[in-house]
Amino acid sequence: MTRRGVVWFVEAMFPGYLFAEFIYSELHRRVEHLPGVRGLVQFGDYIATIDADTIVALKEQAGEDETVTVDPDIKVGQSVRIAGGPLRGLEAVVTRVLPAGERIKVLLELLGGPVETDVATPNVLPVGRPLL
């Protein structure tokens, strides 16, 4: 669907994830072995948790239709400075905002010619903001 020249798409915010509330010490083995469950999300030796207030905020933002509209700050055609990673400090032009991956495609001058590459959106800043 398009609105004022903008392309909209619908996708799952947390595809394949199920948020569950349970007493870990008593039920983790049962939960891990339920049909369709691949495992619990972990960061090293730590099980990922999310506080109840965050779940409530997600539900409130989604509303009854369970849809959240995300309008990324980064737009196609915008000049950005890469603030992290091996391309740090280079300026580029956004050529595409990629869905569901917090990534964009940018066009930059590298080794004497134009190069298009993917960059994580947390690693770019609109031109005019200082490097972090």
Q: What is the pLDDT of residues 47-63, one digit of tens each?
A: 888 888 878 887 877 77
Q: Let me know if residue 71 belongs to a domain.
A: no
Domain of residue 119, CATH code:
2.30.30.30
Q: What pLDDT does residue 101 have?
A: 63
Average pLDDT over residues 27-56: 88
Q: How confident is the model at residue 8 (pLDDT cuts 50, 70, 90)?
A: low
- pTM equals 0.44
Q: Let me know if residue 131 belongs to a domain.
A: no
Q: What pLDDT does residue 14 have?
A: 72
Higher pLDDT, 69 or 54: 54
DSSP calls for 17-73: -------HHHHHHHHHTSTT-----EETTEE----HHHHHHHHHHHTTTT------S
Would the pLDDT of 2 be above 60? no
Q: Tell me which residue range forms the domain holding 94.
A: 79-126
Q: Let me know if residue 100 belongs to a domain.
A: yes
Q: Report the domain count for the chain.
A: 2
Q: How confident is the model at residue 15 (pLDDT cuts 50, 70, 90)?
A: confident
Average pLDDT over residues 4-11: 57
Average pLDDT over residues 25-34: 94
